Amino acid sequence: MSETLLIAAIASFLLAGTVKGLTGLGLPIVAVGVLSHFTDPRTAISLIICPIFLANIWQMRRQGNFREALRNYWPLALTLMLILGVTVVATSQLDSDWLLILIGIVIAGFSLVSLGYSPPELPAHFDRPIQVFTGVVAGFLGGLTGIWGPPLVMYLLARRVDKEEFVRASGILLFAGGITLAAGYIYAGQFDGDRALLSLGMVVPTLLGFTVGEALRKRLNTEQFLSLIH
Confidence of residue 26 (pLDDT cuts 50, 70, 90): confident
Structure confidence at residue 179 (pLDDT): 93
Per the rule left: phi > 0, alpha: psi between -120 and 50, beta: everything else, 2 is beta
Structure confidence at residue 108 (pLDDT): 83
- 210 in Cβ contact with 55 (< 8 Å): yes
Question: Which CA distances in Å does 85 have to 63, 80, 140, 142, 206?
Answer: 27, 8, 9, 9, 24
Structure confidence at residue 5 (pLDDT): 83
For the cut 90, the answer to whether the pLDDT of residue 222 exceeds it is no
For the cut 80, the answer to whether the pLDDT of residue 63 exceeds it is no
* Whole-prediction pTM: 0.86
- Residue 179 CA to residue 85 CA, distance in Å, equals 9
- Residue 114 CA to residue 59 CA, distance in Å, equals 23
For the cut 70, the answer to whether the pLDDT of residue 77 exceeds it is yes
For the cut 90, the answer to whether the pLDDT of residue 203 exceeds it is yes
Structure confidence at residue 2 (pLDDT): 78
Q: Over pLDDT 90: what percentage of the chain? A: 48
